Amino acid sequence: MVTQSTSAEKTYKVAVSILATAGGVALLYYGQVFFITVIIAFMIAFLLEPAVRLLMKIRIPRGLASFLVCALWLGCLYFAGLGLYIEGMAMADDLPAYGVRINQIVESGAARVDSFEKNVYRTLVPRRFQDQEPTPPEPAAARGKRKPTDPPVAPPVQEVRLRQEPTAMVSYVYDYLHSFYSTLLMASFIPFLVYFILSWGDHLRSRLLFTLEGEPRYTVAKALDGVGDMVRAYVVGNFLLGVLLSVASVIMFASVNLPYWQLVGPISGFLSLVPYIGMPLALIPPLIAALPKNDPALYLFLLVSVGLLHLFALNLLYPKFVGSRVHLNPLAVTIALMLWGILWGGIGLLLAIPITAGIKAICDNVSGLKPYGRLLGD
């Protein structure tokens, strides 16, 4: 009787766990805009926290220090966006030259494909069939005289009035603008969230711990510290690595006089940090910028230099900047990228590793979850 009760309890717990997991996944999927906004705000706050701590050491209150750091961050974003806008407008003036070059590449590719098909046809099809001319159609006299028939009578043309339905287009535009508006609305909350996280972080932490007593208070405090340290190490490490790659890319592209190297260098440098697909993404901006030059040697230089820079950063710099703090095994990283990519698309690929690192930090600091932390670890 006791065995049956224990088995029923285990089955009940498993069923509840499965339902809770399914509910959590559904909540993450349908609330992706909200959760992405909050996670990005926390990551930016972790990135700016050292600057706030530095200002607090010179006797500046935390609220004022948070405001100054956020203002400096928004100013940097504004000037970076202004620079990208100026370079983008200059690049837009050269779009005809890019269009001509792209048309030439497409036409050349089509001609090569056609030549390849002809060569394959000559190789596979016997020559006697290639030289054989098609048989002319049989003349009408040889087929005999046919009994003339009356020409078919066309059915009467009925006037059909098509009722225009502007509601379909209006509905499509409304759905598109509504989605864009929701994303823009959530993004507008990020500066405020970052400021409140920086200025009220210690207060909220102390209030949260005050509600707990004994061992749970120590466990939660340790878990929060672990999550903060790991995510901060990941964010700061990737940011510094992206800046280093951007500077190296700018110098490399400027040395070969690549068009718009001021714009292409930082974009290529930070795209190189995208997991698994960083190198092909980093190659796209310089190759597009080099299209009007029509120089095969330049294309080869870009392919080799960007590839070597990416491999150097991935194998030598990334372990020093990020890998020594995150400690995630490759299988866990791959599964995390697949899961968060399915749930949140492209932005999920960027957030997969810090989210998984935060989960591992919680598992490492909670005694009952330590086996799962070792499962995720390297």
Tell me, rounded to whole angstroms, the distance of Cα 244 from its chain centroid.
Answer: 20
Q: How far, CA to CA in Å, does 241 sit from each of 24, 81, 286?
A: 33, 20, 19
Query: What's the burial of 261, exposed, middle or buried (CB within 10 Å: 0-12/13-18/19+)?
Result: buried
Strand partners, 377: 328
* Contact predicate 194/70, CB 8 Å: yes
Q: How far, CA to CA in Å, does 3 sit from each of 10, 11, 14, 51?
A: 11, 12, 17, 59
d(CA 319, CA 313): 9
* Among candidate residues 48, 77, 333, 33, the one with its CA nearest the CA of residue 189: 33
Question: Quick one: CA torsion of 334, 340, 342, 344, rounded to 10 degrees?
Answer: -150
d(CA 193, CA 190): 5
DSSP-assigned states of every residue in 18-40: HHHHHHHHHHHHHTHHHHHHHHH
d(CA 198, CA 340): 27
**Residues in the chain, how many?**
378
* Contact predicate 88/263, CB 8 Å: yes
Residue 151, helix vs strand vs coil: coil
Kindly state the tokens that stand for 217: 């208070």
* Contact predicate 259/292, CB 8 Å: yes
**Sequence-ordered list of residues with C-beta below 8 angstroms from that of 301, at least 6 positions apart, any chain:** 256
Q: Which long-range contacts (CB under 8 A, 24 or more apart) does 195-199 make?
A: 195/66, 195/67, 195/70, 197/41, 197/42, 197/45, 198/45, 198/48, 198/49, 198/52, 198/62, 198/65, 198/66, 198/69, 198/70, 199/62, 199/63, 199/66, 199/67
pTM of the model: 0.68
pLDDT digit string (tens) for the chain, length 378 residues:
556 567 777 787 778 888 888 888 888 888 888 888 888 888 888 888 888 888 988 888 888 888 999 999 888 888 878 877 777 776 666 666 666 666 766 776 777 777 777 777 677 666 655 555 555 555 555 555 555 555 555 555 555 444 444 455 556 556 656 666 767 777 788 888 888 888 887 788 788 777 777 677 777 777 777 787 777 778 888 888 888 888 888 898 888 888 888 888 888 888 888 877 788 888 888 888 888 777 788 888 888 888 888 888 877 777 766 766 677 887 888 888 888 888 888 788 888 888 888 888 888 877 778 888 888 877
Q: Which long-range contacts (CB under 8 A, 24 or more apart) does 101-109 make?
A: 101/291, 101/292, 101/294, 102/291, 105/291
